[in-house]
Amino acid sequence: MKAFHLTVAKIDENLFDGFVSSVSLPGSEGAFEILAGHEPVVAELTSGTVRLVASEGEEKSFRVEEKGFVEFSHEQATVLL
């Protein structure tokens, strides 16, 4: 499966920085998943769980306590919690 670069960060804390095959996100208009080749998107996140599958197959998750944002373009995603 193709991979893309993902950064997940909070203020003053980098939670994840590496290549993933997918990331599932709690969007304010419903949950959605980003895979390599996804159309560019900027979306608001609501409380829920960010789940990712690293390119090596390892799964990780991070809790969105209130709100956040995700931006994806040019095979690079940034999640700000």
CATH of the domain at 39: 2.60.15.10
Rounded CA separation 15/40 (Å): 23
Measured from the Cβ of residue 43, the count of other Cβ atoms closer than 10 Å reads 16
Give the chain's domain count.
1
Higher pLDDT, 1 or 77: 77
Residue 69 in this model has a pLDDT that exceeds 90: yes
pLDDT of residue 66: 87
Residue 1 in this model has a pLDDT that exceeds 90: no
Structural domain that includes position 65: 4-80
Kindly give the pairing relationship between strand 76-80 and strand 4-10. parallel
pLDDT of residue 47: 95
The single-letter code of the amino acid at 57 is G
Q: pLDDT, tens digit, for every residue of 39-63?
A: 999 999 999 999 999 999 999 999 9
